[in-house]
Structure 1
Amino acid sequence: MPRSCAFCGGRPLSNEHILGQWLRTAFPPEDLVNGIHYRANAATTHQHAQGLLKATVKAVCEPCNNGWMSELESGVKPFLPEMINGGRVFLDSEQQQLLAAWSLKTMLMMAKAHNPPEPIIPATDYTDFYRERRPSAVMVARTGFAAVPENAQIALASDFSCHALAVQDGYGYLATLRLGMFVVQIVRAGPFPGQVLKPFVPTWQLMPLWPVAEPRHWPPTFPIPDQDWASLTTPDEVPLELAPADA
Structure 2
Amino acid sequence: MRIKLPRMARQCVFCGGSGLTREHVIPRWLSNVLPEQARFRGQDQATVLLQPERAVDGPHHREMVETFNSATVKAVCGSCNNGFMNDIEAEARPLLSSMVRGSLALSLAGGAAPAVATWAVKTSLMAQLTGSEPTVFPQVYREFHATRKPTSDCMVWAAAVDDENWGLRTECRGMLYVLDDQSANPNDPPNILSVTIGLGALLLHTIIDPVLANSTWNLLTYAFRGALVPLWPDPRPTTWPPRVLHPAEAWAISESMPTLLS
Q: TM-score range by the shorter chain?
A: 0.7 to 0.9
2:163 maps to what in 1? Answer: 148
Amino acid of the structure 2 residue aligned with 1:225: H
The change in CA–CA distance for 1:66 and 1:191 in structure 2 (over 3 A counts) is same
**Which of 228, 234, 245 in structure 2 is aligned with 1:224?**
245
In 1, Cα distance between equivalents of 2:43 and 2:84 = 30
CA distance in 1, matches of 2:10, 2:63: 32
The answer to whether the 8 A contact 2:156-2:231 is kept is yes
Question: Partner of 2:87: helix, strand, or coil?
Answer: helix
Please tell me whether residue 128 in structure 1 is matched to residue 143 in structure 2. Answer: yes
Aligned residue identity for 1:185: H
CA distance in 2, matches of 1:115, 1:131: 27
Q: Does 1:206 align with 2:228?
A: yes
- Deviations along 1:174-195, one digit per CA (max 9) or x if unpaired, are 2211112211112232356xx7
After TM superposition, the score normalised by the length of structure 2 is 0.74
Residue of structure 2 aligned with 1:76, choices 92, 95, 113: 92
Correspondence for 1:94: 111
Gaps of 5+ in 1: 240-247
Task: Write the letter of the residue equivalent to 1:99.
Answer: V
Amino acid at match of 1:166: Y
Give the 3 Å change call, closer, same or farther, for CA 183–167 of structure 1 in structure 2. Answer: farther
**Which residue identity lines up with residue 259 of structure 2 in the other structure?**
E
Of 118, 143, 153, 1:138 maps to 153
Report how many residues are paired: 222
TM-score by length of structure 1 reads: 0.78
Shift of 1:230: 3.1
2:130 aligns with 113
**The one of 8, 11, 17 aligned to 1:10:** 17
Give the fraction of aligned pairs with identical amino acids, expressed as a percent.
25
For residues 217 and 121 of structure 2, what CA distance do their matches in structure 1 show? 16
Tell me which residue corresponds to 1:179: 199
Q: Distance in 2 between matches of 1:184 and 1:148?
A: 14
Q: 1:38/1:15 Cα in 2 relative to 1: closer, same or farther (>3 Å)?
A: closer
Partner residue, 1:22: 29
Is 1:47 matched up with 2:69?
Answer: no
Give per-residue Cα distances to partners, 1:50-108, cap 9 Å, x unaligned. Answer: x3432211000000000000011100111211211222221122111111111000011
Give the distance between the partners of 1:141 and 1:234, measured in 2 at CA. 15
The answer as to whether partners of 1:137 and 1:197 remain within 8 angstroms in 2 is: no
Post-superposition offset of 1:164: 1.1
